[in-house]
Amino acid sequence: MTTHEYAIEAVGIKKAFGKLKVLDGINLKVKRGTIMAMLGPNGAGKTTTVRILATLLKSDEGSATIEGLDVATQANAVRGVIGLTGQYAAIDEYLTGRENLQMMGRLYHLSKADTARRTEELLQQFDLVDAANRVTKNYSGGMRRRLDLAISLIATPPVIFLDEPTTGLDPRSRLAMWDIIKQLAAEGSTILLTTQYLEEADQLADRIIVIDGGKVIAEGTADELKKHVGKERIEFSFGSAAAYTKALQIITASSAQADEKRKTMSIANDRGVRQLREVLERLENAKITVESLSLHKPTLDDVFLQLTGHQASEVAEEETAEATKKGKK
């Protein structure tokens, strides 16, 4: 197979369900061996994009390739190089963990020996050895998600789609899943990840794409996106109205933001510790007591809110698509 710089490419992808326009010209490129996180509010088009790239849905316009293979005209070949973990665990609850993996190996036409080898490797990798012979309906949520991801990797695909893989997991299980995803990327997998957890994108992604209204509205590393919001700020809190009022006369930076009710003010921190020291010296010379101070760095939450005007929704995008389909019947 020809080597391409980008394992995943999409150009001008459009999709509508009836009168509802879900994607309006999505463009994206994911470099081989990297993790890209796709962020967006409910209904932004995240799951629809993944479905099109994974050959589960056809786009109305545009084109996309996975490992150089066209998702529209070479769908069967594309399915041979991808793994997909959806929002809900796609496992047979009446089979054991080992049997689920073996069944998927057979569906991928792996040899009996390769299926057995990969099954044991994945049970070890995903910490499921002790539960391998238990029926999966008795698995915890975290175990089900780990098994679901393991199943998608049975054929060692170079490209992996993870559609909100940690939704519903407790914090400990979520951290365990993060470690697994990092390990997959370190081993050379290319991963496209959709998530509602902004911290997850911050922790895992090499690059982040933000979509809203079916369009890409921002793309970059976490640090690049945070620069859209602004610089780090230093916030000072004063114990009295008199100290607060006097401080307003001392700190006259154009970037100063004051809150009279809370008796706080903040300034953009352009010069790090040196600037902090200078401001504190000026306040001390004026005999103004600072009750507390804190540093506030821009977060992806700030970026998300500024770009979309929305909170990250807790409602799965698939539910919106299903509701739309039902409304058309």
pLDDT in tens, 309-321: 654 443 334 433 4
Mean pLDDT of the chain: 87
17-23 mean pLDDT: 94
pLDDT in tens, 239-260: 999 999 999 998 877 668 888 9
Report all structural domains of the chain as residue ranges with CATH numbers, in order of start.
6-81+157-227+310-320 (3.40.50.300), 233-297 (3.30.70.100)
Q: Which of these, 15, 8, 6, lies nearest to 321 by C-alpha position?
A: 15
Whole-Å CA distances, 99 to 120, 133, 151, 220: 11, 8, 10, 41
Is 229's pLDDT higher than 50?
yes
Q: Which of these, 60, 62, 81, 64, lies nearest to 161 by C-alpha position?
A: 81
Asked whether 159 and 67 are in contact (CB, 8 A), the reply is: yes
Q: How confident is the model at residue 60 (pLDDT cuts 50, 70, 90)?
A: very high
- Round to the nearest angstrom and report the end-to-end CA distance of the chain: 44
**What's the CA gap between 316 and 314, in Å, rounded?**
6
**What's the CA gap between 218 and 216, in Å, rounded?**
6
Please state the φ and ψ torsions of residue 300, each to the nearest 5 degrees. -65, -25
H-assigned helices in the chain: 46-53, 75-79, 97-107, 112-125, 141-152, 171-186, 198-204, 222-226, 241-250, 272-285, 300-308, 317-328
**What's the CA gap between 158 and 4, in Å, rounded?**
12
Asked whether 103 and 151 are in contact (CB, 8 A), the reply is: no
Quick check: helix, strand or coil at residue 76? helix
More confident position, 240 or 272: 240
258-276 mean pLDDT: 88
User: Helices 317-328 and 46-53: crossing angle, nearest 10°?
Assistant: 80
Half-sphere exposure (Cβ direction) of 304: Cα atoms closer than 13 Å: 22
Tell me which of 17-21, 143-147, 195-199, 242-246 is least confident. 195-199
Is 4's pLDDT higher than 90?
no
**Which residues fall within 8 angstroms of residue 39, CB to CB, at 6 or more apart?**
46, 194, 195, 198, 201, 208, 209, 210, 211, 300, 304, 312
Copy the structure tokens of residue 229: 């919001």
pLDDT in tens, 66-85: 999 999 999 999 999 999 98
Is 273's pLDDT higher than 70?
yes
pLDDT in tens, 135-166: 999 999 889 989 999 999 998 999 999 998 88
Copy the structure tokens of residue 22: 């879900």
CA triple 33-38-41, angle to 5 deg: 170
**pLDDT computed for residue 314 by the predictor:** 37
